[in-house]
Amino acid sequence: MRIFTTQTLTVLRSGKHLYRWPRNGSATVEAGVGKVTEFHHDGLVLFSPSGRDLRSAFATYLAENEPLDGSTLGDRSAALLLADQTLVWGEPDKWAQRVDLSAHRSDFLDWADGLDLGRRAHGNETDEDETLATGFAAGTVNANGHGIGVASNYSGNVCLFRPDSDQPVLSFRIKTVDEDRIYARPTKRGLLVTVVFNGRNSRIFLVDEQGQLQAHVQEAAHGRPPALMVGKHIVDFMDTTAIVRNEMLEEVARTELGMRPVTTGAAIDGKHFALADSRGAMMGLYRLSKRGEIDEVDLVCYTELATADKREAARAAAVRAFDVARVPGEPCIGFAAKPIVSPPWQVNAGEFSLPLVVRSAGGPGRGLGIRLSGAALQNVTVERLRVGDLEVKFVPDGDGLLAEAPDLRLREGIVLPLHPKPTTQTQKDKAAGLVAETHLELAVEGSAKQPSNAILRVEMWALGASSSRLKWMRPLTIA
């Protein structure tokens, strides 16, 4: 797992999902995203300090090179440790530095033996076996404004690179075995290092650029996530407790969290940090005061977000899968289906537009004919038929007027009553939308001479089809 926060946005990368949790707004869940690392299988979270997602910027490079781990340096740059143990940092395709770490081998420091550090390791075998002693296999990367901290869980090598140098300013080794974890976080003076031995014992210490031990926390009989730097304080985690320490790792305050964090991330503002655990599936945002007091800002169960996302995906799939029976055969024109109705036939004297709503009630087709007749034509001058952007002139046809629109599309009709019958509200909404799509909104345009209430006859049909014509007759009221 990997977590990132800017205070206003928290992003958690679990083994299967990427969760975006904004302080204001709805949380989102993405499945199967990010490049999965070789060792941790939790993917990369390449978010800049301001919250910019750099995954797309590095997508091409990551597709061609397998990363072991990575961390962002700024809004456009990142540091990546690749599977061939090459460390690169900078902007995509504009790497400021590229260092081959595959043959790197550091020395053990005297103070490490004095602390009995790594007494569960291979012992002298580590010195004799070049495979175990060199390189940065199964490496971790922690980058910030102070530089890049690289550590190998396999060989025990640890290095600190400043952003403007291709040579490490600090390098040493810790006796480890495969199950151990080393996290090296750059500081102004050197490195803040968290070591977890076999997931059962852990220790934190500060090392300056000269390799001198500045401070350390006594080894504890449990694992812990890497310690955070939050402003001038260091936040350490023991079981379900957060311990705030000063720059010499002395305890300042402690707070019970109510969860056991396995991943941590600090915001660049020096005030906020985020945590997530795997057992309770909780993700929390916290604020650290100048005096070292921790306040909980917000807490969320991230698996509930994934569950809600799955429910929504299942609902959307069910809606997509639901369909209704269609009308086979020739195209045909029918009356509007409730709740859709055609407006009353009422117009004002002068220029008018009489709306007529009908339905495609047969098979799919193209082309519609309309004929007007009746006494109402004596009181109006009908000029055109309009359907959306389509406009067709009426021409005399015996005792009436005729207009044909050969290019008008007639959708495939829906069988009414609906079959199958929709049972959920989402199915009902989709069915209503499908029926609405079969309707045509026509407008007969012209001018009315004087008030009248004479009968208007309307006939409509699908051009080229032998299906029955729609026949409509009612008074046309001219006010």
Measure the CA–CA gap between 99 and 81, rounded to whole angstroms: 10
One-character DSSP codes across 96-131: EEEEE-TT--PPBPHHHHHTTTTTTS-TTHHHH-HH
Residue 39 pLDDT:
46
Asked if residue 324 is part of any domain, the answer here is no
- Structurally, how many domains does the chain consist of? 2
Q: How many helices, marked H, and strands, marked E, lie in the chain?
A: 6, 36
Where the chain has pLDDT below 50, the residues are 38-41, 118-126
Asked if residue 23 is part of any domain, the answer here is yes
Q: Which domain holds residue 443?
A: 333-478
Residue 164 pLDDT:
86
Count CA atoms within 13 Å of residue 436 on its CB side: 8
Asked if residue 320 is part of any domain, the answer here is no
Q: Which of 285, 314, 343 is the last residue of a domain?
A: 314
Asked if residue 387 is part of any domain, the answer here is yes
294 and 348 fall within a common domain: no
171 and 116 fall within a common domain: yes
Asked if residue 323 is part of any domain, the answer here is no
Task: Encode 383-400 in three state secondary structure.
Answer: EEEEECCEEEECEEECCE
Write out the E strands in 170-258.
170-173, 181-186, 190-197, 201-208, 213-220, 228-230, 233-238, 241-245, 251-256
Partnered with residue 400 across adjacent β-strands are: 397
Asked if residue 379 is part of any domain, the answer here is yes
245 and 135 fall within a common domain: yes
153 and 251 fall within a common domain: yes
Domain of 104: which CATH number? Answer: 2.120.10.30
215 and 362 fall within a common domain: no
Residue 314 pLDDT:
59
351 and 244 fall within a common domain: no
344 and 251 fall within a common domain: no
Residue 119 pLDDT:
47
Measure the CA–CA gap between 17 and 365, rounded to whole angstroms: 46
399 and 465 fall within a common domain: yes
Residue 375 pLDDT:
96
Tell how far CA 324 is from the center of its chain. 33
Domain of 444: which CATH number? Answer: 2.60.40.680
359 and 390 fall within a common domain: yes
Find the DSSP H helices in 176-245. none
Asked if residue 319 is part of any domain, the answer here is no
256 and 342 fall within a common domain: no
Q: What is the pLDDT of residues 266-285, one digit of tens each?
A: 999 999 999 998 777 888 99
Residue 177 and residue 199 in contact, taking contact as beta carbons nearer than 8 Å:
no
Q: Which of 314, 348, 365 is the last residue of a domain?
A: 314
Residue 240 and residue 259 in contact, taking contact as beta carbons nearer than 8 Å:
yes
Tell how far CA 13 is from the center of its chain. 11
Asked if residue 326 is part of any domain, the answer here is no
299 and 337 fall within a common domain: no
Residue 178 pLDDT:
64
Measure the CA–CA gap between 375 and 249, rounded to whole angstroms: 99
281 and 366 fall within a common domain: no
Residue 201 pLDDT:
83
Residue 123 pLDDT:
45
Q: Which of 255, 286, 314 is the last residue of a domain?
A: 314
Q: What does each C-alpha distance from 459 to 239, 333, 438 come to in angstroms?
A: 81, 10, 18
